[in-house]
Amino acid sequence: MANRRISMRKIREISRPVGAQYVTDFRLAGLHYEDIKQMSDSEQLRTLEKGKGRKSEKYKILSGKFEYFLKELKKTGVTLQRLWKEYRHEYPDGYEYSQFCHHFQVWRSASKVYMRIEHKAGDKMFVDYAGKKFTIYDAQTEEPIKVSVFVAVLGASRLTYAQATMTEKQRDWITSNENALRYFGGVPKAIVSDCLKTGVIKGNKYEPELNQVYLDFAEHYSTAIISARSNSPKDKALAEIAVEIIYTRLFAPLRNEKFYSIKELNRAFRELLERHNNMLFQRTKISRRSLFNEIEKDALMPFPEEKYEYRDLQNPRVQFNYHAELREDRHYYSVPYQLKGKKVRMFYTATAVEVYYDNKRVAFHQRDCKKYGYTTLKQHMPAEHKFYADWSPQRFIKSSKMGENTKALVQRVLKSKKHPEQAYKVCLGILNITKRYGDERLEKACSRALEYDVCSHRSVKNILERGLDKVEEDTEKSQKLISFHENVRGAGYCSAPQESRHF
């Protein structure tokens, strides 16, 4: 009675038509409980199929195509309806659609070991870390070191990849994903990740917050990141199954060996992986590798021309001077001045820095590790700052239209200031005077200003407005206009010794 209750419980776990078909098949095969209680699932299945073969030649033809149907269903757009139509086209007297589906479902469900058909070829790659860690040893001290094991599996073919990593941090996570894609030789339409911080910042049933570096990786390869829901193992069932298989086929065979580096361990993993991927499934008599080559290899998307280069991420706020700080180097990079005060995303590699705002790249710089330095692009400056950036002392001095006196005055102005930029506006003002008075008069005005030793824009302008540039210099006449008396000191007074002066 107890055995019967167990049998009825198992029957209740499947659909009613399938359960009824099992009972019918057992009766037709002439089997009793005592006959089958020592049989494995595979032996029971073979016995039932033999009974069906004796019962119906039509079923024998159909069952011979079941493995073909299973592989075809993994291809994009292929349905049971389409397969049935092709079957009926080849065998017009074959089963109707409902019987066709029923017999296929019975065959699929008859053994616990079978390939599920939920995942289309090239659709998803499932990734996760194994819960248990592997142990390697320090080459000098023999100290044990626990290392993580990354596992990836393709949904349709179950082709599996695994590698050991020192940590589960961002760089190791991205590198492992990259290596998995390279091992598979292409890119799936989506990557299904567990709720790891390196993949998912904040889990949510409907709209999880994904890690920006992981999204950047996915964008490079034109794939999508799908987060498995928390406490929902069915969302990543393939990864869970792959991890269990990795324990059996990688961990167990290597449990008594000592490895002294990640590289050495991964070399051993790769050999066992090839053996695992070439091992035949118990039911279909086809390996993961063969199935991959047959249905999934060509369904994967090709790689982009450039290999992904890992990029770190910071989220600085743009400072008042329209520069954002890369904290790792204490260096500052310009962005468009309109983004002053905004928060931006800064991706950086060993050689380059990219700044994004509102999912659009707004700046690209070569990385400069000079501490407290500034890297500035002219197009990021406001108009008034571009003015100073465009001018230099050399540009003022080398102007082809500038006369000798004008050039001498400009040089005098540039030298009179502590910083060249302080003199730019003065020099530009002097040069702009030519628009009103012409080059010839400006040249004479500059000559007079040099003689008077008044090197400023205002002085040159006053000379021109008063027409002093037109007056011929007459030193003797000027001296006669001066009234000499006892309070007027001569030129020798300033050069006389201090003690000889009388007041």
pLDDT tens figures, 117-132 = 467 888 999 999 998 9
CA distances from 125 to 115, 178, 279, 332, 449 (A): 16, 12, 20, 39, 80
| Residue pair 272/250 in contact by the 8 Å Cβ criterion | yes
Tell me the pLDDT tens digit for each residue of 275-290. Answer: 999 998 766 678 899 9
Q: Using 50, 70 and 90 to split pLDDT, how confident is the model at 2?
A: very low
| Residue pair 236/228 in contact by the 8 Å Cβ criterion | yes
Q: What share of the chain is helix, strand, coil (3-state, %, to 5)?
A: 50, 15, 35
* H-type alpha helices, 433-489: 434-452, 457-465, 475-480
Tokens 């119906």 -> residue = 56
Asked if the model's pLDDT at residue 190 lies above 80, the reply is: yes
Asked if the model's pLDDT at residue 243 lies above 60, the reply is: yes
Where is average pLDDT lowest: 162-166, 183-187, 396-400? 396-400
pTM score > 0.85 for this model?
no
User: Mean of the pLDDT values across residues 67-83?
Assistant: 77
Angle at 271 between CA 265 and CA 273, to 5 degrees: 95
Helix (H) or strand (E) holding 200: strand 200-202
The dotted CATH code for 124-299 is: 3.30.420.10
Separation CA 107–CA 117 (nearest Å): 13
Asked if the model's pLDDT at residue 112 lies above 60, the reply is: no
Q: Using 50, 70 and 90 to split pLDDT, how confident is the model at 200?
A: low
Separation CA 72–CA 213 (nearest Å): 36
Asked if the model's pLDDT at residue 477 lies above 90, the reply is: no
Asked if the model's pLDDT at residue 51 lies above 60, the reply is: no
User: Mean of the pLDDT values across residues 158-165?
Assistant: 94
Q: Using 50, 70 and 90 to split pLDDT, how confident is the model at 154?
A: very high
Domain locations along the chain: 2-109, 124-299, 312-388, 391-480
* H-type alpha helices, 160-255: 170-184, 212-220, 237-246
Contact partners, residue 309, CB within 8 Å, separation at least 6: 349
Separation CA 427–CA 377 (nearest Å): 25
Separation CA 475–CA 488 (nearest Å): 18
Asked if the model's pLDDT at residue 185 lies above 90, the reply is: yes
| Residue pair 377/392 in contact by the 8 Å Cβ criterion | no
Tokens 């291809």 -> residue = 75
Q: Using 50, 70 and 90 to split pLDDT, how confident is the model at 333?
A: very high
Q: Which residues of 185-194 are buried (b: 16+ CB within 10 A; e: fewer)?
A: ebbbbbbbbb
Separation CA 102–CA 86 (nearest Å): 17
- As given in the structure block, the two tokens for residue 55 are 């019962």
What pLDDT shows up at residue 259?
A: 94
Over pLDDT 70: what percentage of the chain?
69
Angle at 68 between CA 67 and CA 72, to 5 degrees: 120
DSSP state of 412: H
| Residue pair 336/343 in contact by the 8 Å Cβ criterion | no
Higher pLDDT, residue 296 or 4: 296
Where is average pLDDT lowest: 10-19, 95-104, 269-278, 289-298? 10-19
**Measuring CA to CA, which residue among 192, 214, 56 is closest to residue 128?**
192
Q: Give the type of residue at 140.
A: Q
What pLDDT shows up at residue 106?
A: 76
What pLDDT shows up at residue 475?
A: 45
CA distances from 200 to 130, 192, 241, 319 (A): 17, 11, 21, 30
Cα-based torsion angle of the residue sequence 411, 416, 419, 424 in order, rounded to the nearest 10 degrees: -50
Q: Using 50, 70 and 90 to split pLDDT, how confident is the model at 30?
A: low
Separation CA 297–CA 157 (nearest Å): 9
Q: Using 50, 70 and 90 to split pLDDT, how confident is the model at 165?
A: very high
User: Mean of the pLDDT values across residues 297-311?
Assistant: 89
For 18, what's the count of Cα atoms within 13 Å in the CB-facing half-sphere? 17
144-154 and 124-129: which strand pairing?
antiparallel
Higher pLDDT, residue 306 or 180: 180
Q: Using 50, 70 and 90 to split pLDDT, how confident is the model at 363?
A: very high
Asked if the model's pLDDT at residue 241 lies above 60, the reply is: yes
| Residue pair 362/339 in contact by the 8 Å Cβ criterion | yes
What pLDDT shows up at residue 435?
A: 84
Q: Please, is 105 exposed, middle or buried when counting C-beta atoms within 10 Å of its C-beta (0-12, 13-18, 19+)? A: middle
- As given in the structure block, the two tokens for residue 80 are 């049971």
Q: Using 50, 70 and 90 to split pLDDT, how confident is the model at 175?
A: very high
Separation CA 66–CA 103 (nearest Å): 9
Tokens 């493995």 -> residue = 67
- As given in the structure block, the two tokens for residue 433 are 């005077």
Task: Count CB neighbours of 99 within 10 A.
Answer: 14
Q: Using 50, 70 and 90 to split pLDDT, how confident is the model at 115?
A: very low
Asked if the model's pLDDT at residue 307 lies above 50, the reply is: yes
Asked if the model's pLDDT at residue 496 lies above 50, the reply is: no
